[in-house]
């Protein structure tokens, strides 16, 4: 069975994708709960983006 390694550009892309998604989620949560400027659409989009980025990162770690 041939092993494959993940290219460095793909690792960097996953790191940047997770970082941007977590920053956006943090921004949406601060707006929602601390600043009392609710934007439920942004919060929902950021939650979905964060979950998708984590799932993509974990999938690449397994294979």
Give every CB contact of residue 24 below 8 A, 6+ residues apart in sequence: 46, 49, 50
CB atoms under 10 Å from CB of 18, counted, come to 16
Predicted pLDDT of residue 6: 67
- In whole angstroms, what is the distance from residue 39 CA to residue 47 CA? 13
User: Could you tell me how far CA 22 lies from the centroid of its own chain?
Assistant: 5
Q: What are the tens digits of pLDDT across the range 19-60?
A: 999 999 999 999 999 998 889 999 999 999 999 988 888 876
Tokens of 49: 């983006």
Q: What pLDDT score was predicted for residue 5?
A: 65
As a whole number of angstroms, the distance between CA 17 and CA 50 comes to: 9
13: Cα within 13 Å, side-chain hemisphere: 7
């Amino acid at each position: 069975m041939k092993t494959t390694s993940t290219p460095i550009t793909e690792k960097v892309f996953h790191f940047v994708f997770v970082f941007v998604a977590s920053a956006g989620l943090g921004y949406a949560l601060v707006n929602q709960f601390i600043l009392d400027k609710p934007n439920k659409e942004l919060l929902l989009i950021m939650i979905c983006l964060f979950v998708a980025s984590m799932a993509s990162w974990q999938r690449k770690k397994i294979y």
